[in-house]
Structure formats: structure tokens, C-alpha cells
Structure 1
Amino acid sequence: MPVPELNVVAPVQDGTAGVRRLIRTGIVIDASCDVSPDFLADPDVAVIPIPIRIGQATYVDQHNPEATSRYMRENANGEGAQGQSAPLDAEQMRAFFMERFALDYDSVYCLTITASRSPIHDASSQGSAMALNSIRDMRQAADIRRPFQFRVIDTKNMFAGSGIPAMALRDMLLQHMQPKDIRDSLFRIIDSTYTYYVPDDLRYARTRSRGRGDRSINLISAMLGGALDIKPIIRGYHGDTHPVSKCRGRAEAWGRLFAFAAGRIAHGLHTPHLIVSYAGPLQDVRAIPQFAGLRSACEGAGVSLHVLQMSITGMMNIGPGGLTLAFAGPAHGETP
């Protein structure tokens, strides 16, 4: 089935009564954002690449399945504790935005990983501001008189959590919602998106998280986790993360989280998407008994359940075997 393009119709601005024109709208996400394959296949979606260096090897995170497979194959199924990401700077963002969107689009939404954990949002904001004057000059030279808008939006979440507002935005555009309504609905979804993280190796996750300014996993927890196979469940919300539960082993942690998410679906979600991303073979996720209950809850409520390979950036930061689960819904208690 062909993927629909994200085009919305709006009144013409030249005063011609009764005439309507087609506005082409693009969506930009950074590569750490976990979204479905059909979302990525949309011709109006662009991915900001994130180069990653581990030793002498360089990987480009851009949601390319072959690059992801290579990264997992060469790094113990996703291990990259010493890896360093090198996100595009403002000048590189400016060039990326101009090349991709200057003449073919009238409106662009750029959704990024939370600004509290990554410089990508700031670089995108600076890059888009630098690009705007040049884009307007290019459009004027090409006799394109339509206004051009570029919005950079902080999702206040990471990985699966950044994917929820991105996929909700695409739904809104396909429904031809008006820009003001999109803005209000999108920020409501961002402000109600919860991400739950289950790192599989606490020592690894602590090493990586401290580099991002995240203190969710302290040294004592890391030592106990290694000795007792304790798996924390960490909640991400509004740019902050903190542990909410501890479980004995992966099966208990995942099972409890899947059952908890199924219960939240019963209370209603703000957008019909639930994303699970995993740094490992996806059959591991489906093998947990409570996953069947989560799948049934989604089917009964008309919610799309997306089980995805985690981005290279997510794998490097959470570690092999790490899992994230995200949805947007009403406020709720912290403990799954």
C-alpha cells in the first residue's frame, strides 16, 4: 500500500476568493526517535543523522536497518559503553534544513530528543534560525510567494517517548487539522507522554546515563543490580528521569511493565499509539507472557502497538537488552 504524503489544504494568501492551495508539510525527527517503519517510509519525513564513534569505527544512526545490524554485530549486540555521539552542529543543521526543505515545503515541524539530555534541540533551533533568511531568499528567487514556517519542538522525552508525539503529529496532518489545532494538540500530547526504561545492565546504564547528566541509577544500585539481577523501571516525563520500581530479573520487570501499560490503555490514551523499542531480537519481547495481554488491550481499544528495533543511539545509551515503552495519557501513579 503506498504511503500517503503529509499535505494539508489551506486558503490561498493572494486574495483570490474561493481558491484553495496545497501546502506541503514536512516532519523532521532526530535519529534517536523510535518510530514505525511506515512513518519512516513517508516521503515527507526526514531524519537528522547522528554519527557515532566507537574506537576506530564510525556508525551513522539514521534508522537504516543495515547500519543497525552492523552496529549490533560489531558491538556485542549493541554494547557501546565507550561510544561517543557527534550530533550535527548548528551550521550543519542549517545546511541540512536548506537542502531538504527550502523549495519543496511550506511548513516544517522538527521534533527532537529532550533538550535536557542532548544538544540536538539547541543546534536545531539555531540551525533553523540561521537557515530562514536564506530560505526566504531562495524562495523569492524561485518566485515562490507562499509563506514558510519552521518549528523546532522539544519532545521532552527520549527514544520511544520521542516517537509518540512524532506519530501523533503525522496523524493530525493526515487528518488535515488546522495549524493552531495541531499546535495545541501536539503540546498536550508532549505534556502527557510517559516513557518507561528498563536497562538490562545497570553498570552499563549508569556509565552512559551519567555522561548525559542523568542520575537515575546510583552506584549502590548498580552494584546490587549486578549481584542480584535487579532490573529498575525508570520513568521519563517532562525531560526528567527517575526510578519507580525494582524487579528481580528481566521477565518480572518487563511483565510488570506490560501489565501496567495494558491497565493505562483501559483508562484511555491521548493518541492511539503505544511504542515498545528494544535493543535486541524482537522475539524476546513477544515471548514475555504479559505481552499478549498488552497486545489484546491495544486491539480492544483501537491502539496501534509498535514493537521496534531501538535506534543505535538508544542502544548505545541504554545498553544491550534495554527496553523502552511509551504512551501519552492521563496523569497516573508512578509505580508499574
Structure 2
Amino acid sequence: MGVAIDAACDVPQDFLERNDIAVMPIAVKVDDERFKDDRDPAEIQRFRDRKLGSRSHSAETEASSVEDVQSLFLDRLVKEYDCVVCLTIMATRSPIHDNVIKASFAILKNYRPVREAVGRSGPFLMRVVDTRNIFAGAGPAIAETVRMIQAGKSPAEVRERAAQVADCSYGYMLPRDLNYLRSRARSKGDRSVSFLSSMLGTALDIKPILRAHRGETGPVGKIRGFEQGALALFEYAAKRVQAGLMVPSLSLSYGGDLDEMRDLPGYSRLVRTCEDAGVQILESPMGITGMVNVGEGAMTLGLASEDHVAEF
């Protein structure tokens, strides 16, 4: 069994390599610069080195098309695996989930001669899971999918568990630049960040804490100052870890150098809390798609937990 993810799912490169996870890329165009967001660290660094984050609110992004997904599977994955679990960011925010579903019909229709040509017999299966989250919020479902596969679970069991974790996943985002976030949102027809709130937030250094959960996104708190916002998020996450997570994994992504994130207040305590509880922290640079949509310097955090009310 193998795993494929959408490039907007923020997980570390070494985790992808260690578990041989395929990435369905996103094409990004900023002015005359073109990037392929496939979570390649060198490409992420090239984006940052070109200092495109501050002017990429007008960027064009294009998720893997139906044809792209078909090619990835028929050219590679059906030859290597008998079943592949595909995890995508929330279907309410991206067409990639629908594209994978549409592509699956052609893949399942045409895989047999491809597999026979490389000496593979038997059927090929696809299982598609909407993580109902975004960026680091998709991390828990991906980590649990890998764990279930390594435990030898069946495709049906893996998909059922991944969907259950997706329903219980909470993704949080702390942006640095509200004006950037508003401009990017407006360019995509999203009016959720109003002009007044972005202007007041910038003037008073008020940062919203945004939450993604079960396919919906919205603000759940506001904090003065990015560092205080990070402290509030880390303290919240530490409390959830102590209360017990559904998956022993917590995801963090940051739109910049990870050492900057590690210097934020509350980070060290969260790390110690996770170590004491046996919870793995998956830290990764935010992908190009994330930085384009929410701005450089933003932080996202993902965990899976029983239903609860977060207070910030």
C-alpha cells in the first residue's frame, strides 16, 4: 500500500521520503516566475530567495488536473503498489479532491495492461480521503494513514480510520500580515477578512487565530502581537496533548526559516510536553502554495482531538 498527498498538505520532506509518499503538485505563477509546488525544499527556498511572498497575492495557483493525476498513477503508482490512499486538503477550498475522484475512473479502467507489462497481477485499488483541513491541519490524518499501513491494516480499515481522524482534526493558522491575507482572499472572491478588520488589525498589531475544522474555516480568537499569538497557540496545543490526542502526532508548519519558529515563546514547553506524552512533532516549512495564500511568516498547527471548544 502506498500514499499520495496534495502539495498543500504540510508535512516534512524526510517524512515523505522515509515513507515513499507521492506528492500531487500545484503549479504557481508569480509575475513571470513559475514554480512547481511539490514540497521540494530547494523550490521552497527559491521562492523565498526571490522574495516573492510580499507580492504574490495576485499569483495564480493551479492544483493537479485530472490528467496530471491520471499520469502520476498510470506512469508510476499502479506499477509500484496494489493500493494507494490519496489524501487531499479540504474539498471546500480546492478542486484537487474532485480531480482525484474524476481521475480514479480512468485509472481503474486502464491500469491492467500497465501492471501486466511490469509483471504485476491482481487488482489495483484507490482510496481517496478528504482531510477536511489544510496545511499542517492535514498532518494528523496523513500520519495516521502511514501508521495504519505499517501496522498491516486493510485498505478499508485504513480509509475508515483516516476519515475518522480527518473529522476530528483541528488546523490553526496565525498570519503575520493581515493586509496581505485580505488582498489574497479578495483576489479569490473570499470576503472573510474585511477591510476594516485588516486595517485595525495592522494598526493595533492584532492577529487573528483562524481555525480549519470539518471543511470550514473561520476566526476563533484574536491576540495582540504575533509572538503572543504563537504563545497562545503553543499553550493550547500543550493542553490538548496533556488531555490526550486521537493520533500521537502534532504538525507545525512555518512560512520561513524553522529556527525562527523554534525561537517563539512557548515552543520549548510544547516540545517537552510532546516528548513526555510520546507525541511526535512533524515540523515543516510551509509550502509555496501556503505562502502564496496566507503570506510569508505565517504559522499553522494541526492536531486530532475529541470535540472541544478552544478559548483564546
Instruction: State the TM-score bracket (shorter-chain normalisation).
Output: over 0.9
CA spacing shift, 1:78–1:181, aligned 2, 3 Å: farther
Give the AA of the match of 2:246. Answer: H
| 1:123 correspondence with 2:99 | yes
Alignment of 1:104 onto 2:77: no
How many Å separate the matches in 1 of 2:99 and 2:156?
A: 25
- Could you tell me how far apart the structure 2 residues matched to 1:262 and 1:79 are? 35
Over aligned residues, Cα RMSD in angstroms?
A: 1.7
In structure 1, which of residues 42, 45, 49 is the aligned counterpart of residue 21 of structure 2?
45
Report matched runs for 1:52-71 at 5 Å: 52-71=28-47
> Given the alignment of the two structures, is residue 197 of structure 1 paired with residue 173 of structure 2, yes or no?
yes
Q: Counterpart of 1:297 in structure 2: which amino acid?
A: T
Mean CA deviation greater in 30-39 or 136-145: 136-145
Cα distance 1:205–1:73, how it changes in 2: closer, same or farther (>3 A)?
Answer: same
Shift of 1:209: 2.8
Is the contact between residue 28 and residue 62 of structure 2 (CA under 8 Å) also seen in structure 1?
yes
Distance 2:123 2:267 in 1: 47
Per-residue deviation at 1:285? 1.4
Larger Rg: 1
From 265, 271, 284, give the equivalent of 2:241.
Answer: 265
Indicate the SS of the match to 2:173: strand
- In the alignment, what sits opposite 1:325? 301
- Letter matched to residue 130 of structure 1: A
Query: Structure 1 segments of 4 or more deviating over 6 A?
Result: none
* Counterpart among 144, 147, 159 of residue 123 in structure 2: 147
Q: Aligned to 1:223, which of 199, 220, 229? A: 199
* Matched residue type, 1:105: Y
Offset, 1:140: 4.6
TM-aligned CA distance change 1:78 to 1:301, over 3 Å = farther
1:187 matched to 2:163? The reply is yes
Cα deviations by residue, 1:58-114 (Å, 9 ceiling, x for unpaired):
011111111111101112556521111122221222112111112221001111111
Query: Partner amino acid for 2:86?
Result: C
CA distance in 2, matches of 1:48, 1:181: 23
Residue 178 of structure 1 deviates from its aligned partner by 2.6
Partner of 2:213: 237
Secondary structure (helix, strand or coil) at the match of 1:200 reads coil
Find the aligned partners of 1:213 and 1:188 in 2 and give their Cα distance.
31
The answer as to whether partners of 1:265 and 1:297 remain within 8 angstroms in 2 is yes
Residues 29 and 304 of structure 1, relative CA distance in 2, 3 Å threshold: same
Q: Which runs of 5+ in 1 are unaligned?
A: 1-24
Residues 78 and 280, structure 1, Cα contact 8 Å, conserved in 2 = no
2:148 equivalent in structure 1 = 172
Q: What SS does structure 2 have at the residue aligned with 1:151? A: strand
- The CA deviation at 1:141 is 5.5
Distance 1:169 1:135 in 2: 24
* Aligned residues of 1:97 and 1:128 also touching (Cα < 8 A): no
Q: What is the SS of the residue equivalent to 1:320?
A: coil
For 2:237 and 2:189, the matched residues in 1 are separated by 27
Moved more, 147-156 or 43-52: 43-52
Work out whether 1:133 is the aligned partner of 2:109: yes
The CA deviation string for residues 241-282 of structure 1, in whole angstroms up to 9 with x for no partner, is 110111111011111110011001111001111111000121
Higher fraction of helix: 2
Question: By how many angstroms is 1:43 displaced?
Answer: 5.9
Q: Secondary structure at the match of 2:244?
A: coil
Q: CA deviation at 1:116?
A: 0.4
Q: Is the 8 A contact 2:140 2:251 kept in 1?
A: yes
Task: Output one character per residue of 1:206-256: Cα deviation in whole Å (capped at 9) or x when no partner.
Answer: 222344554442222111111111100011101111101111110111111
1:209 matched residue in structure 2: 185
Does the residue aligned with 1:196 lie in a helix, a strand or coil? strand
Q: State the one-letter code of the partner of 2:172.
A: Y
Matched, 1:156 2:132: yes
Contact 1:31–1:61 (CA under 8 A) maintained in structure 2: yes
Q: Contact 1:195–1:325 (CA<8 Å) still a contact in 2?
A: yes
Q: How many Å apart are 1:42 and its aligned residue?
A: 3.1
* Paired residue secondary structure (1:234): strand
Match of 2:279 in 1: 303
Q: TM-score with structure 1 length normalisation?
A: 0.88
- In 2, the alpha carbon distance for the partners of 1:179 and 1:69 equals 36
Does the CA-based 8 Å contact 2:24-2:38 persist in structure 1? yes
Cα offset, 1:142, TM superposition: 5.5
Distance 2:190 2:309 in 1: 22
